[in-house]
Amino acid sequence: MIRVTRDEFDASALLEEARSGEEGAVVSFLGIVRNDGIDRMEVEAFEEVAEQELSRIREEAIAKFGVTRVDIIHRVGSLSVGDRIVLIVVGASHRKAAFLGCEYIIDRIKESVPIWKKEYTAGGSRWVPGEHE
């Protein structure tokens, strides 16, 4: 599953869905809005292109690491401290492939997916510099 959404998601349910008899390992990454002095964050995306790029990254991870399952959900909209931003779930026969695939996916998302974050504080707002700018 690849999805860019404004809706909250249930990470536990998605992890449970990833369990099957084929995967010996399931690795996940959950990105959360951290409390580093911000009040909230606005996440924007060119959604159609972002989903296409996420699908391409999914296929790259499958080809490169032999993972058998990749789910990626990225939220957009107004998010508060503690809200979930992104979830990546990677299944593979063995743990090493699952870990490597998951790390590869989050690194590639930061490099190439058209998603932007703007942080709001009591003193104003600022766009968060990204690796793909």
Residue 97 vs residue 129, higher pLDDT: 97
Q: How far is CA 131 from the centre of its chain?
A: 15
Q: Which domain holds residue 95?
A: 2-122
- Is position 27 within any domain? yes
What pLDDT, on a 0 to 100 scale, did the predictor assign at position 98?
96
- Is position 113 within any domain? yes
Tokens at 26, concatenated: 């399931």
- Is position 132 within any domain? no
What pLDDT, on a 0 to 100 scale, did the predictor assign at position 130?
64
Ramachandran sector of residue 14 (left: φ over 0; alpha: ψ -120 to 50; beta: rest): alpha
Tokens at 15, concatenated: 């992890």
The domain total for the chain is: 1
pLDDT in tens, 9-58: 999 999 988 887 778 899 999 999 999 899 999 999 999 999 999 999 99
Q: How far is CA 124 from the centre of its chain?
A: 27
| Owner of token pair 């809200």 | 83
Question: What DSSP character marks residue 94?
Answer: S
Tell me the CATH number at 102: 3.90.1170.40
Tokens at 75, concatenated: 């939220």
pLDDT in tens, 83-104: 999 999 999 999 999 999 999 9
- Is position 129 within any domain? no
